[in-house]
Structure 1
Amino acid sequence: MRNRNSVQFLDPDWPDLPESVGVLCTTRRGGVSPAPYDDGQGKGGLNLGVHVGDSPRCVERNRDIVRAELPAEPVWLSQVHGTAVIDAGTVDVLAHAPAPTADASYARERGVVCAVLSADCLPVLFCDAAGTMVAAAHAGWRGLAEGVLENTATAMYGAGARDLRAWLGAAIGPAKFEVGSEVLAAFLVRAEGHEDLVRAAFVPVPERPGKYLCNLYALARIALQRAGVHRITGGDFCTVSNSGRFYSYRRDGVTGRQASLIWLR
């Protein structure tokens, strides 16, 4: 963690990150939003989501706080738990148009900031070994099951990237994410020879037949490796368990959103 004044950021443990790549991950601390979007300790929260019921003025001020740490206005997305990937460099962030509907974006130009919001879903940041392309993906269980990470890698390969690596941000941890059998079934549909690995990511809850504890981090690693991404780090935080640092929809219901952002310097 890194503190700047009253704002707390999460510094990714990403040892092979190229010097040309910038990364910023926010927490809930250091903004101006009131409860239930606060910092969990009675002070202003750094909610960055415009769609969660918070005051638009508070969200704008919070985004200004984050913007001061970045080379440009982020390319915010309208996330729908889908698999669409866009080229962030094609978005005019100054046009005040509605945010593009997608759950991932990539960038090849310096200063274009890819961003995803989350509050239990898994944010995944990508870059190539040469430090010439970056991407950010929002992977809730639906998007993860349907291929949002594979689509992101495919888009980067198609744009010329090679030797991709990824970092897994803060998400609901495997001890807190209880799901039904339909979630397991959704992942098995696209398991493609990895059925045993997929099943291992779902631990039955003995006292609740048909319920499982789901490991999003393990499922993301399966998806990434299937897409040819083998250098994977992160996956060390649980949003539900750490109310003092992270927003969590599963824990609180009405809550804010933190952001994971990446760009080329």
Structure 2
Amino acid sequence: MQTTLEILTHPLLSDVKHGFFTRKGGASSGLFAGLNCGRRSTDQADMVQVNRARVAAAMGVPQDHLATVKQVHSATVVTLADGDDIAAVRDVQADGLVTTRRDVAVAVLTADCQPILLADPQAGVVAACHAGWRGAIGGVIEATVDAMRSVGATCIKAVIGPTISQQAYEVGDEFMDNFMAEDPDAERFFSGGPQGKPMFDLPGFGLMRLRDAGVEAEWSRHCTYSDPQRFFSYRRATLEGQVDYGRLISAISL
């Protein structure tokens, strides 16, 4: 069994410890083969704990200082301050985590949605954001940036990690119409696909939202759908008729 983790990093965040972890190097098997870090998956709980422990070690924090929330595609953001109970945050329904603590790594789980890691190293603020289409149009990106600024961030940089690319993200006409009703400027993120249906550019939309919020941002340009050896993908698992899927983890710390 391969135990060497594969951790993707980006030069834009070179001043902080961060990583977009692929599925390589994990203890899970079957549908979840590799580094499945999703507690809410049907994977064996002890294997998920082993995987998360490996991530915590790679991030240089104790296992119980790898902070995640109960993601619900919302625009809710939690700020983890000194003295806060890290374990309690795990059950809070939210999709963004901000911290100024140096003993914690904040993380999000994804399987096609955007994992966004953000940092202002000089101000000592980092954040992790889970932004699928629903969260992105609902304002989770802006809410995360606002929460960072409320604790002192002024010059924020962000990287969108592995996510589903436009060439793999076919949606329906109703999806496009509803999306554009929420944000008329989003039309440019849809194009015609090979089946005549719209194809949605999720990372392009995320980059626009980040940059409009005054954040310097890039996408890692890794597509979760098209690389099954490295990434879990909800859409790929669904199309293949699988009953569940693994969750990738992305983490950042000061």
TM-score norm. by structure 1 comes to 0.85
Distance 1:233 1:120 in 2: 17
The aligned residue for residue 9 of structure 1 is 6
- Which residues of structure 1 form unaligned runs of 5+? 39-44
Distance 2:21 2:27 in 1: 14
The aligned residue for residue 245 of structure 1 is 230
Distance 2:3 2:45 in 1: 21
Contact 1:52–1:255 under 8 Å retained in 2: yes
Corresponding position: 1:88 with 2:85? no
The aligned residue for residue 132 of structure 2 is 140
Q: Structure 1 52/77 Cα, relative in aligned 2: closer, same or farther at 3 Å? A: same
CA positional deviation for 1:186? 4.1
The aligned residue for residue 47 of structure 1 is 36
Contact 2:10–2:220 under 8 Å retained in 1: no
Corresponding position: 1:57 with 2:46? yes
Contact 2:111–2:247 under 8 Å retained in 1: yes
Name the SS of the counterpart of 1:31 in structure 2: coil
Distance 1:235 1:24 in 2: 11
Aligned-pair identity (%): 34
Name the SS of the counterpart of 1:115 in structure 2: strand
The aligned residue for residue 41 of structure 1 is none
2:28 to 33, 49, 53: 33
1:79 to 71, 76, 81: 71
Q: Structure 1 91/259 Cα, relative in aligned 2: closer, same or farther at 3 Å? A: farther
Q: Structure 1 228/243 Cα, relative in aligned 2: closer, same or farther at 3 Å? A: same
CA positional deviation for 1:88? 2.2
Name the SS of the counterpart of 1:30 in structure 2: coil
Q: Structure 1 98/201 Cα, relative in aligned 2: closer, same or farther at 3 Å? A: closer
Contact 2:123–2:154 under 8 Å retained in 1: no
TM-score norm. by structure 2 comes to 0.89
What pairs with 1:118-157 in structure 2 (closer than 5 Å)?
118-128=110-120, 130=122, 132-157=124-149
Q: Structure 1 127/250 Cα, relative in aligned 2: closer, same or farther at 3 Å? A: same
Distance 1:152 1:186 in 2: 24
CA positional deviation for 1:190? 4.3
Q: Can you list the C-alpha shifts for 1:61-92, whole angstroms capped at 9, x where unaligned? A: 11121121232321111000111000123641
- Which residues of structure 2 form unaligned runs of 5+? 239-243
Name the SS of the counterpart of 1:29 in structure 2: coil
Distance 2:102 2:175 in 1: 38
Name the SS of the counterpart of 1:61 in structure 2: helix
Contact 2:68–2:90 under 8 Å retained in 1: no
The aligned residue for residue 170 of structure 1 is 162
Q: Can you list the C-alpha shifts for 1:218-243, whole angstroms capped at 9, x where unaligned? A: 100111122111x1122310000000
Runs of 4+ that moved beyond 4 A? none
> Residue type matched to 2:149 in 1?
Y
Q: Select the structure that is richer in helix.
A: 2
